Amino acid sequence: MTDAASPTRTAITPTADAPSRATRRTHRAWAERLIPLLPDLALLAFWQWASGRLVREIYVSKPTAVVARLYELFASGEIYSHLWTTAQELVLGYTIGVAGGVVAGYALGRSPRLARVFEPYVMAFYGIPKIALAPLFIIWFGIGMGSKIALAAIMVFFLVFYNVYTGVRGVDRELVNLTLVMGANQRQLTRHVYLPAAAPFVMLGMRLAIPYSVIGVIVGEFTSATQGLGLFIHEASSTYDPAGVFAGIAILLVFVVGAGILAGRLERRLLRWRTLSGVGPSEI
């Protein structure tokens, strides 16, 4: 009797341990997700404690006050028109800047003659602080969306341009000559050699350009605007509303983080071939 029961208990033991192992794995996964948030939580806790004790609340507000201000803005619908205006300016400015940077960077990268003619002018214009162009763009395009789109586009353009230009100029000439010897035409050369080689540089430029497009739009709205998050933040600061200022900054942070996540997913999709060929994301 005892011998017959013993194997049964031995067989049940691993099954009983399985839920505990799954629970431990779940706890470990949650811990890995939460650990990166600990510095943020500590900073928020310190901010909440220090406001009114170490620093006057009129200067820095409090996280709880910022959350309450965000709720008020969305509940009343006051922020939606500003959000919509800024979102349109960001998307259009970013898209135009990326498209122009890719085309110009590829054209000058493929043509040494064009590069010799235009690169000095591009370098000279690149040295001008783009923020200084905001008043000029307002004169040209008015106080509406056009001036903000132009400012964001010009800030994005140069980052993307130089990354694409570097990627195309860095293509191995022996690979290009070998491809031509094998009978490839210019379209095939572009598709199978230049574009794969420049793709990581394009994605790098697109990721780096995200915060700069936000800077361009917000600075333009600071200068002159009728709608937009920049105008909202400017008005909040002029009326000594630090909670409103931090609420606007928090919304902009969501814009930047969300755009960065989308850019990362696009990069993984477009550069999947590099992972399959043994080149990891850290090497891109």
CATH number at residue 103: 1.10.3720.10
Instruction: Give bridge partners of residue 51 from the DSSP assignment.
Output: 55
How is 128-187 classified by DSSP, letter by letter? Answer: S-GGGGHHHHHHHH-SSHHHHHHHHHHHHHHHHHHHHHHHHHTS-HHHHHHHHHTT--HH
**pLDDT value of residue 96:** 94
Which parts of the chain sit beneath pLDDT 70? 1-19, 27, 31, 271-284
Look up tokens 């709720």; give the residue.
71
Look up tokens 């002159």; give the residue.
224
What letter represents residue 135's amino acid? P
Shared-domain flag, residues 114 and 223: yes
59 located within any domain: no
Shared-domain flag, residues 24 and 113: no
**pLDDT value of residue 77:** 87
* 92, 149 contact by CB (below 8 A): yes
Shared-domain flag, residues 21 and 75: no
Shared-domain flag, residues 132 and 30: no
**pLDDT value of residue 95:** 93
**pLDDT value of residue 11:** 47
Shared-domain flag, residues 129 and 228: yes
57 located within any domain: no
Shared-domain flag, residues 202 and 101: yes
User: Domain limits at 17?
Assistant: 1-35
Q: Which two tokens stand for residue 194?
A: 């230049």
Shared-domain flag, residues 261 and 208: yes
- Cα separation, 230 vs 235, in Å, equals 9
Q: Number of structural domains, the chain?
A: 2
40 located within any domain: no
Shared-domain flag, residues 128 and 7: no
169 located within any domain: yes
Shared-domain flag, residues 195 and 252: yes
Shared-domain flag, residues 75 and 121: yes
Shared-domain flag, residues 187 and 233: yes
pTM, two decimal places: 0.78
Shared-domain flag, residues 28 and 75: no
- Cα separation, 251 vs 70, in Å, equals 9
**pLDDT value of residue 68:** 92
- Cα separation, 235 vs 229, in Å, equals 10
